[in-house]
Amino acid sequence: MIEDPHFYFWAIPAVLLLGLAKSGFLSGFGAVATPLMAMAVPVPQAAAIMLPLLCLMDLASVQQMWHDRDGPLLRLLLPAGLLGVVLGTVLFGAVSAAVVSLIVGVLTLLFLLQRLAIKPRHDGPAPSRGWGFLMGVVSGFTSFVAHAGGPPISAYVLPMRLDPMRVTATLAVYFSVINLAKWGPYAALGLFDARNLWTSLFLAPLAPVGVWVGVWLTRRMASHWFYRVAYAGMAVAGGKLLWDGWRAL
């Protein structure tokens, strides 16, 4: 197990933040968690330690929100996300985490600029299914490489202006499947070892805490505040990913 206190200085807030993001309360901020942990360990190691914790959070969030999911939306996004995981497996090593962070950061900030420039209309056309499939593929790929699948999928789902709990539940089910699909490839690529798994086990009690607190808060949050927090989270995540990618190149 990792024993360096410096690692836990970054890891504990990262795990709690990710749990809150999983609940929907701080939706968008979850993409910052792996870069935060990567302040103390390399990105691939941070991703490997995070994956078992993500699955525990998925279990807690899906158990509480399963009945609020959007079935038709999941039938569009899940095949696309799984295709992105396959691409991530094939291209792992060919595309660095720094490049992925840079690209996701730029795309996230461009999306936010577009949302600021064009006031969303509640009666406007829904985003196209083709755009949704593309964002699903990008999300699966970036989730595989750096657990940064939130911003791309949010770029499609948030403009739909669904009920906050429906958004949160749908993304919870989506990422639970995506994260389970990453176990085999991560093991085949040698990202799991005893040290990382013991560290994950040590951090495991923190995994559901943020989810439980966040779900309680999300169910009581007004819709307009949910979307404001979500877009703020995307801004923070996009800026952080852009900075990390630029610094590492």
Using the predicted structure, report yes or no on whether residue 125 has a pLDDT greater than 60: no
pTM: 0.76
Percent of the chain's residues with pLDDT above 70? 85
**Average pLDDT in the 23-39 region?**
69
> What is the reported pLDDT for 123?
47
CA atoms within 13 A on the CB side of 11: 28
Take residue 165 and report the two structure tokens written for it: 């709990």
pLDDT(186) > 70:
yes
pLDDT digits (tens, 9 = 90+) for 218-237: 677 776 777 777 677 777 77
Helices (H), 66-163: 71-91, 97-117, 129-146, 150-157
Q: Which residue has the higher pLDDT, 9 or 116?
A: 9
Backbone angles phi, psi at 46, to 5 degrees: -60, -40
What is the torsion angle, in degrees rounded to the nearest 10, for the CA atoms of residue 61, residue 66, residue 71 and residue 77? Answer: 20
Express each pLDDT in 42-92 by its tens digit.
777 888 898 899 888 888 888 878 888 999 999 999 999 999 999 989 887
Tell me how far apart the alpha carbons of residues 7 and 12 are, in angstroms, rounded to a whole number: 9
